[in-house]
Chains A and B, each alone.
Chain A
Amino acid sequence: SQQGEEDPQALSIQEGENATMNCSYKTSINNLQWYRQNSGRGLVHLILIRSNEREKHSGRLRVTLDTSKKSSSLLITASRAADTASYFCATGGLMDSNYQLIWGAGTKLIIKP
């Protein structure tokens, strides 16, 4: 089953509003990463948060991590049309005796002008 599961699957908001996406996972992790994908092409790394961190900021992005609830959220403030993309979380940790990144299915974000 999926290690990282994003919620919601799709989100449509007005430009200027804030967008929040969530990621839940099942096992212990070393870190959790968020990536953006435009138009089904290459992914771009946004932010990495380690298991001993609770919050991290990068520009208009804010990521939180709650290891007790095994969940993370990505907040994009003051959204812009250019933020329209799919957002994936990836959890890094020990899975099936190997350290690896496990990918969620993504949240499709649409910013309406």
Chain B
Amino acid sequence: GAGVSQSPSNKVTEKGKDVELRCDPISGHTALYWYRQRLGQGLEFLIYFQGNSAPDKSGLPSDRFSAERTGESVSTLTIQRTQQEDSAVYLCASSSQRGRTDTQYFGPGTRLTVL
């Protein structure tokens, strides 16, 4: 079946502009995660959605970052007033399990470059 998809695959934007990144999880997966990965670094947790529960936003680095998810479908990550330090690959993952320690399935990521 189809895996996790993300769009766009690459995004170049100017400092100060807003960007919106999209994630389509695997159908039926109730859990959805967003991560940020700077060049040569590990994964930095941003936000977690589980079904209709309140999301865990504890990883969002500033109030410029926000994310939404409608039910158990598509999620969008929005970065307002982008800064150069926002340049990174943004990865989305989904899981069929309710537990946050279970296997995650990743999309190909969106590479964001802020000029």
Contacts and interface: CB of A to CB of B under 8 A. Distances in A.
A106 B99 contact: no
B101 A43 contact: no
B68 to A, nearest CB: 21
A113 B42 CA distance: 27
Contacts of A85: none
A45 B56 CA distance: 23
Interface in A66-113: 88, 92-93, 98-101, 103-106
Given A103-B42, A105-B41, A105-B42, A41 B109 contact: yes
Interface in A23-54: 30-31, 33, 35, 40-45, 48
The interface size bin for chain B is 20 to 34
Given A42-B91, A88-B42, A106-B42, A99 B100 contact: yes
B39 A40 contact: yes
A45 B111 CA distance: 21
Interface string B73-111: 000000000000000010101000001111111111101
A44 B4 CA distance: 11
B23 to A, nearest CB: 11
Interface of B: 4, 35, 37, 39, 41-43, 45, 48, 56, 89, 91, 93, 99-109, 111
Given A33-B103, A41-B108, A103-B42, 5 more contacts: A2-B42, A30-B101, A40-B89, A43-B106, A98-B56
Interface of A: 2, 30-31, 33, 35, 40-45, 48, 88, 92-93, 98-101, 103-106
